[in-house]
Structures are given as C-alpha cells and as structure tokens.
Amino acid sequence: MRKQIAAANWKMNLTLQQGETLLDTIIATPHSLTDNQQAVFAVPFPYLAMAQQKLAGKKNVFVAAQNCYSKKNGAYTGETSVEMLQSLGIRYVVLGHSERREYFNESNQLLAEKVNICLEYQIQPIFCCGEPLSIREANTQNAYVTKQLEESLYHLTAEQLQHIVIAYEPIWAIGTGKTASSAQAQEMHAFIRAQLAARYGAAVANNISILYGGSVKAANAVEIFGQTDVDGGLVGGASLIADEFVSIINALKK
C-alpha cells in the first residue's frame, strides 16, 4: 500500500529559534500517524541537524532537504552534496520545486542527474512537477507534465522508481491562495499514475505516492487528500503554522 505523506516545505522562512519552537509545538500536539502515513519536514540547510535531532526516534516522521547538488563532492563552493545529507541521516530531498526551476534555472536534465545521485545515496527524492498558468489556460498541462517526468524520471528502472515520491504542484496554485479544485487535482494525479502504469506496469504505479501541492491548508486538506489518487500534500505557507500543519497531518487518508 502506498504511503500517505504530509510534507512541510519551510522554504527560506523562520529563524533557527522559530523553527525549533514550531517543531516543538508540532511534536507536543497530539497527532495520529498510522504505519502507512508519514510527516516530513523540509527545512533550510542550516536547520537540518537541529530538526534531525528533535525528530529522532519519532515514528514515521522524517526530515528532508530542500535541494542538493548533482555532483558527489569537490570544488563547488556553496553547494550541498547528498553524501553530506546521508551523513546526517536525512531521508528525503525535495527536487525540482518550481521556485528552483524558475529562479535557479533548474532543467529537467539537471534534475535527472540530481535524482540519480540521490538514489545512489539512498535518499528519496520528492520530485516536483507542474504547469504554469499559461499552460493550464491552453489546456496543455498533460503534455507539459509528461515531458517533465519523461526527461527527469523515465530513465529509471522500475526498482529505482519505487523510491521516488512525486509532488504535482500547479505553479498557479503555489503561494497564491488559489487551490486546484479537488477534481482538477484528482484528474492530473490519475493521469500521472496512468502514465507510470503504461511505462512501468500497474503494480509499480499503484505503489508510488503522488502528493498535491498548492495552497493546501487545514480547511481544504480533507477534501483534496480524500481523492483516490492524491496521497497527501507538499505544503508551504500552512506548514509554518503549528495547528494548521497538525490538522493537515490528521487529514491524511488512513
């Protein structure tokens, strides 16, 4: 059975002290995670060790980095390798967030390299895909997302693909307060799963968690996560508010 995941993306927000308080509050608030559910915290690089320490031993709770570099090590000042992340015990890395694609020119090809190196070091990518507004308005979102998956993931074997989590994040819904309707989310998630099934077989496709991202909050999480092919969410703004994020965790399907 595929995992249901509530992943917090703090982006470039919060001081260390604010981050500590947020995690302490979330840990202290009763929330239920079944064996099939996970909560993941993608925190800024300087806070990875702190988060890892605070969440150590917490069942089904993991820390993620928000990025990594595509090379193993060497003279790449300012970059962070997956070997470094592995040495901290980090489980996940968010790759290909639309903000990285847009502001840091990350291409599908570069992301394929990052996916490869993460898998080599047993770190699971949370691979983001999703279309801008102009593509949605032209109704060509399926082709757009297919290309992202094709160029960054479809070189993987079926065994490798099972270690990927996909996050579908329509760019027009990120940080805008505009959520895709639950029907729009389900439609794209079912489309992605059908593409994976055509390529890797239904058994593999049914095992891949596909998260929705784009203005998820406590008020809409139950409805969005309730869709058949939506396996939780990647959450920006609402993940910075403890009781919002706890409600989002509690909205995961059992």
226 touches ligand PEP (CB under 6 A): no
Q: Is 97 a catalytic residue?
A: yes
In b/e form, how buried is each residue of 108-134, taking b as 16+ CB within 10 angstroms?
bebbbebbbbbbebebbbbbbbbbeee
210 touches ligand PEP (CB under 6 A): no
215 touches ligand PEP (CB under 6 A): yes
Q: Give residue for tokens 């992202």.
A: 148
Compare residues 125 and 213 and give the one whose CB is closer to ligand PEP: 213
Compare residues 125 and 236 and give the one whose CB is closer to ligand PEP: 236
234 touches ligand PEP (CB under 6 A): yes
Q: How many residues bind ligand PEP (CB under 6 A)?
A: 15
> Which of 99, 106, 131, 169 does the annotation list as catalytic?
169
170 touches ligand PEP (CB under 6 A): no
> Which of 97, 106, 131, 189 does the annotation list as catalytic?
97
Among 3, 5, 6, 9, binds ligand PEP (CB under 6 A): 9
Compare residues 62 and 200 and give the one whose CB is closer to ligand PEP: 62
Using an 8 Å Cβ cutoff, are 70 and 113 in contact?
A: yes
237 touches ligand PEP (CB under 6 A): yes
First to last CA, the chain: 11
CB 247 to ligand PEP: min, Å? 14
- Distance in angstroms (rounded) separating the CA atoms of residues 234 and 212: 6
Q: Is 169 a catalytic residue?
A: yes
Q: In sequence order, which ranges of 139-208 are alpha helices (DSSP H)?
A: 141-152, 158-161, 182-200, 202-205
Compare residues 194 and 219 and give the one whose CB is closer to ligand PEP: 219
Q: Give residue for tokens 């990594």.
A: 68
Touching ligand PEP, residues 176-195 (CB under 6 A): none
Helix (H, G, I), strand (E, B) or coil at 21: helix
Contacts of 61 (CB under 8 A, 6+ apart): 33, 38, 39, 40, 41, 55
Contacts with ligand PEP by CB under 6 A lie at 9, 11, 97, 169, 174-175, 213-216, 234-238
